[in-house]
Amino acid sequence: MYKRGTIMDIYIKPKKKVSLSEQAQVTINDVADVVATKEVAAKIKKMKLLDVDTTSGKKQNYLISITDIITVVQQAYPNFTVNNVGEIDTWVQYLPKRSIDRPWLKWLKIAAVVVILFIGSSTAIMSFHTDGQMPKIFERYYSIFFGHEKTNPAIINIPYSIGLAVGIVLFYNHLMGKKITDDPTPIEVEMELYDRDVTDTMVDAMSQRQERLKNGNS
């Protein structure tokens, strides 16, 4: 419990992006973590930030600023100090219907990605070997070390092929469906960077749109 007039702290940690579906309202609990006393935190999490237009049946995007959250919280708790320890803006992506998990579709996507990566990687490797004239280089290495020439020397081609396969496994950090180390793979890093760029771009675009609307109405 707290006494009226006593200043207490509330910590809000908004998320950068959230995806919601099949709900008519967006509450603080949907977009942020709240740290306060148990009673206060429970009430804050239930506070409404905006109403969702569920009649359109289309995917919608909303932008919630930390100022929106602070305004709602301070209306209920004017004697509390609200501290932001997370993002400034949150992109709320609303989907009319919750996506259904279909295992067969998941495995179909995995198979398609595997085929595309296999064909693309093998094409890239063969193109590199052709441009770099790797067969001639191997034949030259063989003549240097063994004193006579030989076409497609297996003693060099086989270790090179094994080393190439090992290098690919180490690069992607996966073997038989399991990660070798806890480090993120290059694909995971690129996907994280791509998702971050998309989120930042959407947040900036919606923020600019809201600013134009605000200036137009003023």
Residue pLDDT, tens place only, 163-214: 888 888 887 777 766 777 788 878 888 889 999 999 999 999 998 888 887 7
Per-domain boundaries in the chain = 8-95, 103-206
Please compute the mean of the pLDDT values over residues 8-17 and round it to a whole number.
Answer: 92
Please answer whether residues 3 and 74 qualify as being in contact, where contact means their C-beta atoms are separated by less than 8 angstroms.
no
Backbone φ and ψ for 57, nearest 5 degrees, come out as 70, 15
Architecture of the domain delimited by 8-95? Sandwich (2.60)
pLDDT digits over 55-75, tens only? 877 888 999 999 999 999 999
Reduced to 3 states, what is the DSSP secondary structure of residue 160? helix
- Stated as kind and residue range, the H or E segment containing 58 is none
pTM for the model stands at: 0.69
Mean pLDDT of 82-100: 87
